[in-house]
Amino acid sequence: MVDFTGEFCSECNDKIDNSSDVVVCPICGTPYHRHCYGKAGRCKYEESHKKGYVWKRKVSFKKKEQELKCPSCLHNNPNNAICCEKCNFSFAEKKVSNKQLEEASELKNRFSEEISKNFVKLSVGSDLFSSNAFNSKEKLKGIELKVWVKCIQENVMYYISEFKKIELTNKCRFNFSAFFFAGFWFLYRKCGRIGRIMLMFMGISSFAAEFIQVIFGSRISEEILNRIPNNIKLPERVLVFYNELFNLPLWQVFLYFLPGLAASFYFAAMVFCGKFANKWYMKECEKKIKKIQRDSKNSKEIDEKFLIFGGVTSSVIWLVASLTTFLLLLLCFF
């Protein structure tokens, strides 16, 4: 049935709306209100019918199909769609309300700018892949490289190359950043669990070494030095010191060397971090990617989660800088 909404009745010149009862002249097609046509008893243009008069629309007519807007990606779908044509969001699970659409639109606007900033080079065809350094379709641990890129974000070239080497040879290069900063490096790379464990272990080792040295080591050294005559020269003084030390009970000798042993644990942890950091980081990235893909409904949500959980935590740099400055000030004043 033709929709005459917006046209005017040729008899009374009132607008025809969607509730009007309309009749049409069978010869020229002119629309009338039913009661207007019945009252007139004939078409207004009856005399022009012989000349071939045909009524023409004044309001353009377009048949509008009802559309179902996806709350996830805001794509317009046919009203009878079961799932979104673009992101495969299921409409069968629940009805989509206007409030949900508004919230989805707000979420899209909020993240669109951030995603455009942080993922400029993360899509297929970006500078990273167009330079032929990597093939966007190539997979690592069964995951496309472009997904690894979204997770790593910073220093991508180094880590993708290193991860490919680890997959092929199960060997990794020594990471000097992880060696010097240990637990802080893992926190910077958003590997919170490993970072907290390493910081806790190294903090306990450092505190234990300092505590034992202050309480026991310095006291033992002072007692031995007080027994050594002042007229003995330095080379002989060292020999006499260690001779006196090893004449002490075994438990005191152990306490004297214990701070050095605790400090060696600290250094061993640094070496351990430097040697295995890249391999641990690869495993953490793989678990993170699989979890995000498993818990996300569409690619848009995946990108939003990588924006939050991927990349690095820049605030760790300021934390390390503040701690270093504080320690230097302590050394200067004390």
pLDDT tens sequence across 113-129: 444 444 433 443 344 54
Is the separation of the CB atoms in 184 and 195 below 8 Å? yes
- pLDDT-derived band at 110 (thresholds 50, 70, 90) equals low
Q: What is the CA radius of gyration of the chain?
A: 39
**What average pLDDT does this structure show over 186-201?**
90
Q: Where in the chain is the domain with CATH 3.30.40?
A: 1-64
**What average pLDDT does this structure show over 101-110?**
56
Q: Is the pLDDT of residue 267 over 80?
A: yes
- Token representation of residue 312: 């690095």
Cα(164)–Cα(305) distance, integer angstroms? 24
**Does residue 306 sit in helix, strand or coil?**
helix
Tell me the torsion sign for CA atoms 94, 97, 101, 104. Answer: negative
Dump pLDDT digits (tens) for 42-52: 888 888 887 88
- Can you give the pLDDT at residue 248? 87
- pLDDT-derived band at 222 (thresholds 50, 70, 90) equals confident
- pLDDT-derived band at 64 (thresholds 50, 70, 90) equals very low
Q: How many CB atoms sit inside 10 A of residue 289's CB?
A: 22
Q: What is the CATH number of domain 1-64?
A: 3.30.40
Judged by average pLDDT, the poorest of 64-68, 189-193, 213-217, 321-325 is 64-68
Q: What does 84-130 look like in DSSP terms, one character per residue?
A: -TTT--BSSSSPPPHHHHHHHHHHHHHHHHHHHHHTTT-STTSHHHH
Indicate whether this model's pTM tops 0.95: no
59: left (phi over 0), alpha (psi -120 to 50) or beta: beta
Dump pLDDT digits (tens) for 171-188: 889 999 899 988 899 999
Q: What is the dihedral of CA 307, 310, 311, 314, to 10 degrees?
A: 80
Dump pLDDT digits (tens) for 138-177: 888 888 888 898 899 888 888 988 998 999 898 889 999 8
